[in-house]
Amino acid sequence: MADQTPETPEWAKALQNAAAEMSKGLAQASRILAAQGAMGWTYRGDLEAARQALAALPPDHLQEISAAAAALASLADEALTQKAP
């Protein structure tokens, strides 16, 4: 008699897949919140807290934040020149 393990039901596979996707989404949300937190700390002048928020992020995300921050600085300067007398 062969030992057969029962196949995982489709609903269980779907639940496992949903949990894996949710985990990825939560990780991304966590990184976004850390970046937003770093921006908030920087805006308030607390550079040490901003450093701590950024320290937990992976290098690829830090590169994205750096590019976005440079673009934001450029846009803010552009907006400022349009408002200056």
20 domain residue, yes or no: yes
Task: Judge whether 64 lies within some domain.
Answer: yes
pTM score, two decimals? 0.64
Q: What are phi and psi of 27, to 5 degrees?
A: -65, -45
pLDDT at 2: 57
Provide block-wise average pLDDT over 10 residues at a time, the chain (85 residues).
Answer: 74 88 87 90 95 91 93 94 85
What pLDDT is attached to residue 39? 92
**Residue 57 falls inside a structural domain:** yes
Return the pLDDT at 6.
Answer: 79
Distance between CA atoms of residues 83 and 85, nearest Å:
6
Residue 35 in contact with residue 61, Cβ under 8 Å?
yes
pLDDT of residue 12: 87
Given this model, what pLDDT does residue 78 score? 95
Residue 6 covered by a domain? no
Q: Read off the tokens for 5.
A: 């393990």
Q: Is 45 left (phi over 0), alpha (psi -120 to 50) or beta?
A: left
* Structural domain range at position 77: 11-83
